[in-house]
Amino acid sequence: MEASAVDEADAIEVTGLAKRYGAVVALDGINLAVRSGEVFGLLGHNGAGKTTTIRILTGRTRPTAGTARVHGLDAVADREAVRRLVNLVFEDQNLYERLTGRENLRVFCRLYGVPLDRADALLESVDLAEAGRRKVKTYSTGMRQRLLIARSLVNQPRVLFLDEPTRGLDPVSTRTLHDLLRGLAADGTTIFLTTHDMLEADVLCDRVAFLSEGRVVALDVPRELKLRFGERRARVLLSSRVEHVIALDDADDAARLEAWMGSGQVLAVHSLEGTLADAFVAFAGRPLDHPGSGSDGDGA
């Protein structure tokens, strides 16, 4: 892709982005564009280059080649301006355990030079208004994660990067966090996250990119990726409680279904559309949760 005029709607524009660490190729020339207010998911095995991408986009690592732009600003040349536009939530970030949630946020309000009462509004927005008076050491994992997100919003970022935001959270906390992220996106904040969780990517992300060994091997809305690799089949449950699997493209199967329908025998029809995990395997060659996905010597 040539360096075209920056699309006003694009929050992120990455072109030919490459990063090498000595002999290790972390990113091998990736292209992607993320629209403003989109929830965008980057999926890939350990070592695929997800963190490197985020580090470059937030001005923390310099690329070896290519460009990364945030709202038209270059992540290298306009690094300071980019850093003011974005924020990030990483797993290894620390909270002040002996301070309350509110005090934690007020520290960051001072740091960014924003009015201290913003802390209360942020606590409210992540449903920690009450808990904000308690010390962080009493918080659950889900509450800590919400507080980290609130903290990342102190500078009102236009793009928020999150590395594995729901890792270690129970289903209820995960759902709360998804709602929170979707709400932020609806208000115009672009959400760029990494995840290992295919179901999360499916329900949460507007579009996803599959990253494999430093390359973007697919990028689309989850439904399109699933359709491309799903099986065009359906499971039909009849009133006799017998189940049949039919091929949607098969004329004989279509006739059978018509006959069952005509005689009122059909109780339920379930599409056997593919999963995002199926699509990932098709593009990346091995599952995301493959036991060997963390080891470098797992090639073949």
Enumerate binding residues for ligand ATP (CB under 6 A).
Answer: 21, 24, 26, 44, 46-52
Tokens of 130: 């009450």
Considering the complex, state which of residue 52 and residue 189 has its C-beta at the smaller distance from ligand ATP: 52
Name the residue nearer to ligand ATP (CB basis): 12 or 128: 12
3-state DSSP percent of the chain in helix, strand and coil, to 5: 35, 30, 35
Closest CB 228 distance from ligand ATP, rounded Å:
23
Query: CB 131 → ligand ATP: shortest distance, Å?
Result: 30
Contact 161, 54 (CB under 8 A): yes
**Nearest by Cα to 15 from 26, 27, 25:** 27
Q: Which is nearer to ligand ATP, 48 or 160 (CB)?
A: 48
Beta-strand pair 190-195/39-44: parallel
User: Minimal distance in Å, beta carbon 148 to ligand ATP?
Assistant: 17
Q: How near is the Cβ of 113 to ligand ATP at its closest, in Å?
A: 31
Torsion of CA 276, 13, 194, 53, to 10 degrees: 130
Nearest distance from C-beta of residue 17 to ligand ATP, angstroms = 12
What would the two tokens of residue 263 be?
């005689």
Looking at the Cβ atoms of 26 and 177, the one nearer to ligand ATP is 26
Contact 69, 50 (CB under 8 A): no
Specify the residue, 224 or 289, whose C-beta has the smaller distance to ligand ATP. Answer: 289
**Shortest distance (Å) from residue 55 CB to ligand ATP:** 7
Specify the DSSP element, H or E, that contains 107.
helix 101-112
Residue type (1 letter), 222 = P
Q: Which is nearer to ligand ATP, 131 or 169 (CB)?
A: 169
Asked if residue 30 lies in contact with residue 17, where contact means CB atoms within 8 angstroms, the answer is yes
What is the C-alpha to C-alpha distance for residues 150 and 146, in angstroms, rounded to an integer?
Answer: 6
- With contact defined as beta carbons under 8 Å apart, do 104 and 64 qualify? no
